[in-house]
A and B are shown apart, each in its own frame.
Chain A
Amino acid sequence: MKLLEFEAKQILAGAHIAVPVSTVIRKGDHPSLQTPLVLKSQVPTGGRGKAGGIKVVEQESDIDSTINNLFQLSIKGFTPAVILAEEKLNIKNEYYLSLLIDKPTAEIRLVANKNGGVEVEDNGPATFLNTEIHKNNFEAVGQQLADQFDLQSQAFALQDLVEKLYTCFVSNDATLLEINPLILTTDNEFVAGDCKMELDDNAAFRHNWNFEEKPAEVNFVTLDENGTVATIANGAGLAMATVDAVAERGMSPANFLDIGGGANTETVLAAFKRIVEYPYVKAIVINIFAGITRCDEVAKAIIAAEKQITSLPPLFIRLSGTNFDEAKILLDGADIPLLGTLEDCLQAAKQVAL
């Protein structure tokens, strides 16, 4: 789950990491604000500064109109539900600092550069500090960071920051925590200028998360709004293989859908309802190889879909695995034919969808 800046900064503040003094503004709010301030559109995408989503306001009389303009401004298709108003900091320098999980080594790594800001990627790869961080090396990493930032006098403050960031990262089940820029103020204080944070949806059970962005429905992805073949499969691998096979036969797959292990009738029926919203779908290919999933549950959903959804495109169904026999009896009873292999489904779908 990707957080908006103001949500990420609330988490940082909770971990005692300095963030600018701020006010969260929703539509219709009329907070009393003091200039100079910075107004920042809270959209779930990068490049917002270049798109005009960040405004420095010097005159109090300009505040309301600037807020209104930002609420109207669409950035890469997103308009904000929230504007963040922040104090304007007195900046001495801007750095880059992030924590992330390196999957091949199963390590948490700290990445930093002395030149932060939106152009950080222009720094050569060799100029970055990129080091493993764990609960027993804060002092060493703090010193490495002081070397990278060329701020020997701040080594202790950076060690403290590193420890707080690591604790924040782990205790919040973060998979990415990027502070860019990390601002050193003229008062020699480190403040998070902007923050991007991503949390692990799988860990939601142990947190009280309530954020603007709901967890993404990763199992359903539109590939082509104008596609002619919709797909339903179980397991990410089989779902990808099904999409691959449709495309290899020269048809255009409209979507990728993994109904997951242990799918039940409701989840599959919900998938049918989304698929029929595509305007050009002429065939639905269903490819299920059941391990934990049970074929009879899928069959019940197919029968329910045939009954409940008018104008359902033709179904080309291949089922295999757990409880196949039970599923076959159900589908035979409803006069819904089964095909033997995915290949058979594709051959038949080609007749209507090419």
Chain B
Amino acid sequence: MSPELFKATNVIVQGITGSHGRFQTKAMLTAGTTIIAGTSPGKAGEVVEGVPVYATIANIQKDHTVDISVIFVPAPFAKDAILEAITAEVPLIICITEGIPIHDMLQIKQHLKNSKSTLVGPNSPGVMIPGGNKLGIIPANMSLAGHTAVVSRSGTLTYEVMAGLSGRGIGQAYVIGIGGDQIRGTSFVECFKLFENDPHVDQIIIIGEIGGTDELALADYIKTSVSKPIFGYIAGKYAPTGVQLGHAGAILGSSDESAAHKKEALTRAGASMYDSVTALVQGVTDTVHP
């Protein structure tokens, strides 16, 4: 992933005629994002918020280059929408849709392997570049342009941290929600690689959660490959853990996915970790504006 990937201007919306697609297209346009077209099978020729609707991405590509697609297509059809975007070689695909079946994601991951596309999500709030693109549903009025990068698995926690930083005058270079599902396109590590290599980023904030191993993989990566200051919070210290069925999980020796373990791993890797969003925002503020 490169900074240019997120700064490109020819954005389309797949599922533009649905209620979320329509509402969020308006919000993205208001925030200054250039949306050149949308897709909705069977509704070609319509216009949503001034944006022309096409049946397929291939049809849009007859008239325009497509740099970025933001997907609002409902879960039963989201697999086909993502595969359509991969086939059309859209460089950046951001999937907001929640509730995509896991077997659909297994197929999508196979197609992504040798593709020219980067997928953010699914079940993601999208990406916000304050002062630039709003790609998804992150509220633009809470953001402030600056030099802190924020990456999170949770949509609402992302907004919370972003608003907290903005309220203290700490601007953001990137706000990326990688999505709440366990099988997803872009990982924490890939985002950190982007942030480390972008000279506009001064410090990085990670908001993780219990479950999954992405934060543990990140801890390993940070040790060797990240030089910028890192601040973080892992949600779910007091959350219930799921009851496991059968023996398979135990046999595979599943790693400790608790909040405490992830916090410890990231702390050992050199990140400054906090126990609440409030403490995290305060910690960043004390460091940036001591």
Contacts and interface: CB of A to CB of B under 8 A. Distances in A.
- Among B101, B245, B246, B253, which residue has the most Cβ atoms of chain A within 10 A? B246
B236 A120 contact: no
A287 to B, nearest CB: 9
Interface in A207-249: 221, 223, 233-238, 240-241, 243-248
A342 B106 contact: no
A106 interface: yes
B12 to A, nearest CB: 19
A180 interface: yes
Contact of A175 (B102, B235, B247, B277): B102
Contacts of A111: 248, 251-252
Contact of A104 (B99, B217, B247): B217
A125 B253 contact: yes
B75 A202 contact: yes
Contact of B154 (A103, A196, A237, A262): A237
A107 B180 CA distance: 19
B212 to A, nearest CB: 7
Interface string B204-232: 00010110111001000000000000000
A244 B106 contact: no
A200 interface: yes
A237 B152 contact: yes
The prevalent SS among residues of A at the interface is: mixed
B139 A292 contact: no
B6 to A, nearest CB: 19
- Among A101, A223, A253, A292, which residue has the most Cβ atoms of chain B within 10 A? A292
Interface string B85-114: 000000000001011111111100110000
A237 B207 contact: yes
A206 B74 CA distance: 13
A263 B159 CA distance: 17
Nearest to A180: B247
Contacts of A244: 235-239, 275-276
B157 A291 contact: no
Contact of B155 (A130, A175, A237): A237
B238 A237 contact: no
A202 B100 CA distance: 6
Contact of A247 (B105, B152, B238): B238
B137 interface: yes
B246 A343 contact: no
Interface residues of B, number: 60
A121 B235 contact: no
A170 B110 CA distance: 15
A257 B154 CA distance: 15
B245 to A, nearest CB: 5
B240 A261 contact: no
Contact of B156 (A120, A175, A237): A237
B163 interface: yes
A241 B251 CA distance: 31
A240 B235 contact: yes
B20 A241 contact: no
Interface of B: 20, 24, 75-76, 96, 98-106, 109-110, 125, 137-139, 142, 152-160, 163, 180, 182-183, 207, 209-210, 212-214, 217, 233, 235-240, 245-248, 250-253, 275-278
- Report the 5 A-B pairs with minimum CB-CB distance, sorted nearest first: A237-B154, A235-B156, A238-B156, A237-B157, A203-B101
18 contacts: A98-B247, A104-B213, A111-B251, A111-B252, A113-B251, A120-B251, A173-B101, A178-B245, A178-B248, A196-B245, A202-B102, A203-B102, A206-B101, A240-B235, A246-B238, A291-B139, A320-B163, A321-B159
Interface of A: 2, 46, 96, 98, 100-104, 106-108, 111, 113, 120-121, 125, 128, 130, 170, 173, 175-176, 178, 180, 196, 198, 200, 202-203, 205-206, 221, 223, 233-238, 240-241, 243-248, 253, 256, 261-262, 289-292, 320-322, 341-343
